[in-house]
Amino acid sequence: METEQKNELKTKKAFPMEAAYAIGQVTIAFGTALMARADFGVSMVVAPAYLVYLKLSESISWFSFGLAEYLFQALLLLVTAAVIGKFKKKYLFAVASVIIYGALLDLFMLVAGCIPTDELWVRIVIFAVGSITVAVGVAFMFNTYLSPEVYELAVKEIAEKFGFDVGKTKTVYDVISLVLAVAMSFLFFGWWKFEGIGYGTLINALTNGPMITVLNKLYRKKFEFVRKINLKKESSEKEK
């Protein structure tokens, strides 16, 4: 048994957790921007923040999608801490992740805005690429010690706290976000008006969790995620 495990480790390629974090940040922001541009409905995870953006940007011209993410994820972080029963120090690093993500999101929103979407097939392709790209990024985020965005952090923390499967926990969280988004859409824009959510949101709600589960298993089968930067070790060596 031990021999099999050693052989399995030898066949895996080392993959820096720091790189997984960077890839995750970029791909999630890029995929989200593409889905917003496709206008079939954003993913249910970011839908609540997107609705805040749509509503406030009507009266505040400079209010961006990234700023809406800052506000919503800050609230989610407090809720996560309440569910876990304590506020961990690493949660503070999630704030930095949100700032980076928000900046990348606003940048990619500008880039995606340059893509012509007159043709239906173009929108379909953009949505599909965006949805898959987000799943790729989230799966990478689950394999890093660095605090991810609060969305992924909340799922990871709750799954570990109660011993749930990460993929299934993600699916449940997605559905809850979808219900919240629908309620917010009705509240902000009127009864039976779906803004920022649509058929694409429903499709993503059903496929996102399974995609992340498959990708996460694939990553762990192919790669051995290793920590390249150890601040504690470097600090102790300097003290010596």
Structure tokens at 215: 């990708």
Asked if the model's pLDDT at residue 9 lies above 80, the reply is no
User: pLDDT, tens digit, for every residue of 142-162?
Assistant: 888 887 678 878 888 889 888
Let me know if residue 121 belongs to a domain.
yes
Structure tokens at 127: 């949505």
Q: What is the pTM of this model?
A: 0.80
Structure tokens at 98: 């949100």
Let me know if residue 120 belongs to a domain.
yes
Which of 10, 29, 36, 6 is closest to 204 using CA atoms?
A: 36
In which element (H, E) is residue 131 found?
A: helix 120-141
User: pLDDT, tens digit, for every residue of 52-96?
Assistant: 999 998 888 889 999 999 889 889 999 988 988 888 887 888 888
226, 17 Cβ separation under 8 angstroms: yes
Asked if the model's pLDDT at residue 118 lies above 60, the reply is yes
Let me know if residue 235 belongs to a domain.
no
Let me know if residue 161 belongs to a domain.
yes
Domain of 56?
Answer: 14-229
Residue 13: count other Cβ atoms within 10 Å of its Cβ: 7
**pLDDT-based confidence at residue 170 (cuts at 50, 70, 90):** confident
Let me know if residue 133 belongs to a domain.
yes
Let me know if residue 9 belongs to a domain.
no
- Spell out the alpha helix ranges (H) of 13-119: 17-38, 47-56, 65-84, 90-112
pLDDT given at position 201: 86
The number of distinct structural domains making up the chain is 1
Look at the alpha carbons of 227, 97, 199, 170 in this order and tell me if their dihedral is positive or negative.
positive
Let me know if residue 22 belongs to a domain.
yes
pLDDT given at position 62: 87
User: pLDDT, tens digit, for every residue of 19-51?
Assistant: 999 999 999 999 999 999 999 988 888 889 999
User: pLDDT, tens digit, for every residue of 220-240?
Assistant: 988 888 988 775 554 444 444
Structure tokens at 78: 């407090």
Q: Quote the Cα angle for 137-6-220, to 5°.
A: 10
Let me know if residue 127 belongs to a domain.
yes
Q: What is the mean pLDDT of the chain?
A: 85
